[in-house]
Amino acid sequence: MQKTVTEKQETPPPIGVRYTSNGCQVGVWAPFADKIQIKIKDKPSLTALEKRRKGYWYGHLEDLLPGDCYKFIIDEKEAYPDPASLSQPEGVHSWSQVIDHSAFQWTDGDWRPADLKKMIIYELHVGTFSEAGTFDGVVEKLDYLVDLGINAIELMPVCSFPGERNWGYDAVYPYAVHEGYGGVTKLKQLVNECHRNGVAVLLDVVYNHLGPEGNYLSKYGPYFTSKYKTPWGDAVNFDDRYSDEVREYFIQNALMWLRDYHFDGLRLDAVHAIYDQRPDHFLKSLAMRIRDLEQQSGKKYTLIAESDLNDMKMIKPPTHGGYGLDGVWADDFHHSVHTLVTGEKNGYLKDYGEVDQMKKAFQQGLVYDGIYSNYRKKTVGSSPADVHPSQLLVCIQNHDQIGNRMLGERLVSLVSFEEVKLMAGILLLSRFTPLLFMGEEYGETHPFQYFVSHGDEALIKAVQRGRKGEFEDFGWEGEAPDPQAYATYGISKLSWNIQDFPQRKALLHYYKTLIFLRKAGVFESFRKKTINLRPGISQEEVLIFCGGESERLFVAFNFSSDGQEIHAPASPGGWSKILTSAAPLWLGAYEAPDFIKGQGDLFIPPCSLILYEKTL
């Protein structure tokens, strides 16, 4: 009987242009092309590539050197930039440039980042974080971040996008570093300096879509499929015909950021918009390849999924049917805090706003853990009971929750100063991994608005119309800022005038104190398996939690606009104060007693928290 031999899936050689000691290895995927040539800028000759299996074309060019620019010519017709270009110095429509990754001298050989359980993550947008709007501008603020207590920064996408300003989610060259931020070498210098200062660096990568302007991937092959539709058009082809090569394109991209730029991990944007029905989901395949890289490098890489599905499958190990990622977004925490304090219940926030939901979110991160959502009209989520709390990432502000408001207002412009401190305390006392958005720690009042600088007039008008339509479900009044206007970008830059405002100095001191206490392990009881809601509540707006089996800590959150009297939980030795958000030290008007006997009465000011430790 004749046996059928199943061909083993092989990993193709790298794509793009890679410099070696004797020229460049060139690879590109173009399965439908009859001929692929490479054109070097300012040189008359063309070099034809050799077609191999599965539509890959390869060649070796001794006269293609670092700094040279090139394009690929398809079937002797149009010339296009490299889909795996490492640099686009003249913009997204122009020539790709050869980069020699080996030229940079790293000094971080002994560097090892903090585990996710210990991370305090600070999300920033390179273009608006500093006045310069560059990687160097971030380096200049590293001392500030270290003093704040940050041990991990998350860069919003830095890939090449059209024009000079963009959030980064309209990028069209996943392998290329945006030149306006400083390019390849400056990005490496930033990562190297962060590691020298004890700060891990995570990169936000976008594998669910590419931007519309300068996107030439479809000229090369079926990178997209009409099988699914996304908010950005046809979906990236992760499971249709020819999807093996598309998956490999993005997997090689992820490996590049970790291997060649020494990033400590990736934040995977909107993975709920990655459509894949294959037995091994793209995210699982990606994680497995990165675990292979860990074995080779001896380093741990952190993979975090942004998802609104509340699906714990993302972070469960493959042996338990999961994808094997390290962490996942828990937006329920943000939504619960935000609605309770601001009173906003429009759009998807209609599903939130109850004190019981805040209780549930503080205890387990998720509200929708397999229960019905009135807004979505379906059951949402799965139970987080079997995952470590640190695998859930939570925030009270991030680029989406601010920038996708019509006017881009930050919390400090929506709620009182006491409420800001209350919300910061909920975040940093929680058992989950916290994420801060740049400027929140001192109460930045400049908004963070959506901005672009497209060159296509029709696209500009479409973005302007689309931006206005996005807010219909929220009922906000007023006029949406023009995303194309420079002023929209300019007003979104951080002001950094902390010392000019006593309130900003106080809030920064408050954040520093909370972060210091968290890193010192003072809140560790709240990170244990058991967090109990205690009696002694006189109003529904007050929550009292005790942490750990021994209930060594208790914290009371008062969401009411009125002061409240409560009973401290029973403790034979009494309770010693750790912190109260309404203290004069933070420009508040109330100083809680340093010590409470037994089960004594305690006053909580409006919109504040108090934190006590059991006296042994």
Q: How confident is the model at residue 10 (pLDDT cuts 50, 70, 90)?
A: low
Tens of pLDDT, residue by residue over 320-367, are: 999 999 999 999 999 999 999 999 999 999 999 999 999 999 999 999
* Three-state SS letters, 271-338: HHHCCCCCCCCHHHHHHHHHHHHHHHHCCCCEEEECCCCCCHHHCCCHHHCCCCCCEEECHHHHHHHH
Whether the predicted pLDDT of 283 surpasses 70: yes
- If asked whether residues 297 and 405 sit together in one domain, one would say yes
Q: Where are the alpha helices (DSSP H) in 225-278?
A: 243-260
Per 3-state DSSP, the chain is made up of helix, strand and coil in percentages (nearest 5) of 30, 20, 50
Q: 460: which residues sit within 8 A by CB, 6+ positions away?
A: 452, 454, 484
pLDDT at 106: 98
Hunting for tokens 């570093």 — which residue is that?
Answer: 177
Tens of pLDDT, residue by residue over 180-189, are: 999 999 999 9
Q: How confident is the model at residue 530 (pLDDT cuts 50, 70, 90)?
A: confident
In single-letter form, the type of residue at position 6 comes to T
Q: How confident is the model at residue 537 (pLDDT cuts 50, 70, 90)?
A: low
Tens of pLDDT, residue by residue over 461-496, are: 888 877 766 666 666 677 889 999 999 999 999 999
Tens of pLDDT, residue by residue over 106-135, are: 999 999 999 999 999 999 999 999 999 999
Q: Of 263, 267, 101, nearest to 191 (Cα)?
A: 263
pLDDT at 535: 65
State which of 75, 102, 129 marks the end of a domain.
102
**Which run of H or E residues covers position 595?**
strand 595-596
pLDDT at 225: 97
- If asked whether residues 223 and 363 sit together in one domain, one would say yes
Task: Give the separation between CA 489 and CA 450, rounded to whole angstroms.
Answer: 8
CATH number of the structural domain spanning residue 597: 2.60.40.1180
Task: Give the separation between CA 93 and CA 95, rounded to whole angstroms.
Answer: 7
Task: Give the separation between CA 237 and CA 209, rounded to whole angstroms.
Answer: 10
Q: How confident is the model at residue 548 (pLDDT cuts 50, 70, 90)?
A: confident
- If asked whether residues 268 and 214 sit together in one domain, one would say yes
6 is a domain residue: no
- If asked whether residues 346 and 449 sit together in one domain, one would say yes
526 is a domain residue: no
- If asked whether residues 539 and 500 sit together in one domain, one would say no
Classify 19 as helix, strand or coil. Answer: strand
Task: Give the separation between CA 67 and CA 615, rounded to whole angstroms.
Answer: 66
- Percent of the chain having pLDDT more than 90? 86
Per-position DSSP letters for 341-393, written without gaps between them:
HH----GGGGG---HHHHHHHHHHS-S-SSEEETTTTEEE----TTS-GGGEE
Q: Residue 599 carries which DSSP code?
A: T
CB 187 within 8 A of CB 261: yes
Task: Give the separation between CA 356 and CA 371, rounded to whole angstroms.
Answer: 14
- If asked whether residues 31 and 156 sit together in one domain, one would say no
523 is a domain residue: no
Whether the predicted pLDDT of 249 surpasses 90: yes
Give the mean pLDDT of 417-436: 98
Structure tokens at 200: 């891990």
- If asked whether residues 38 and 176 sit together in one domain, one would say no
Q: Of 574, 512, 600, 557, nearest to 122 (Cα)?
A: 512
Q: At what angle do helices 331-342 and 355-364 cross, to 10 degrees?
A: 150
pLDDT at 550: 84
Question: Which residues span the domain enclosing 138?
Answer: 116-456+471-514
Structure tokens at 84: 């795996």
pLDDT at 599: 78
Q: How confident is the model at residue 587 (pLDDT cuts 50, 70, 90)?
A: very high
11 is a domain residue: no
pLDDT at 12: 67
Longest pairwise C-alpha distance within the chain: 88
462 is a domain residue: no
Task: Give the separation between CA 390 and CA 118, rounded to whole angstroms.
Answer: 8
- If asked whether residues 73 and 187 sit together in one domain, one would say no
Tens of pLDDT, residue by residue over 362-405, are: 999 999 999 999 999 999 999 999 999 999 999 999 999 999 99
- Average per-residue pLDDT in the chain? 94
Domain count, the chain: 3
Q: Residue 560 carries which DSSP code?
A: S
pLDDT at 478: 76
CB 122 within 8 A of CB 152: yes
pLDDT at 9: 54
Classify 142 as helix, strand or coil. Answer: helix
84 is a domain residue: yes
CATH number of the structural domain spanning residue 254: 3.20.20.80
> CB under 8 Å, gap of 24 or more: what pairs does 224-228 form?
227/275, 228/275
pLDDT at 5: 37
- ∠ CA 473-474-476, rounded to 5°: 130
- If asked whether residues 485 and 552 sit together in one domain, one would say no
Task: Give the separation between CA 402 and CA 512, rounded to whole angstroms.
Answer: 22
Give the mean pLDDT of 237-251: 97
Q: Which residues make beta-bridge pairs with 81?
A: none
Task: Give the separation between CA 38 and CA 35, rounded to whole angstroms.
Answer: 10
Q: How confident is the model at residue 87 (pLDDT cuts 50, 70, 90)?
A: very high
Mean pLDDT check: name the lowest of 100-109, 498-507, 531-540.
531-540
Task: Give the separation between CA 612 and CA 29, rounded to whole angstroms.
Answer: 61
State which of 102, 126, 156 marks the end of a domain.
102
Whether the predicted pLDDT of 3 surpasses 50: no
CATH number of the structural domain spanning residue 39: 2.60.40.10
Q: How confident is the model at residue 241 (pLDDT cuts 50, 70, 90)?
A: very high
Give the mean pLDDT of 13-26: 90
Classify 103 as helix, strand or coil. Answer: helix
Task: Give the separation between CA 323 and CA 271, rounded to whole angstroms.
Answer: 12
Half-sphere exposure of 551 (CA within 13 A, CB side): 16
- Residues acting as catalytic residues: 269, 306
- If asked whether residues 22 and 129 sit together in one domain, one would say no
Whether the predicted pLDDT of 504 surpasses 90: yes
74 is a domain residue: yes
521 is a domain residue: no
Between these two residues, 101 and 527, which has the higher pLDDT value? Answer: 101
- If asked whether residues 502 and 538 sit together in one domain, one would say no
- If asked whether residues 608 and 484 sit together in one domain, one would say no
State which of 80, 102, 124 marks the end of a domain.
102
Task: Give the separation between CA 371 and CA 352, rounded to whole angstroms.
Answer: 13
Cα distances (Å, whole numbers) of residue 68 to 60, 65, 74, 132: 15, 6, 20, 28
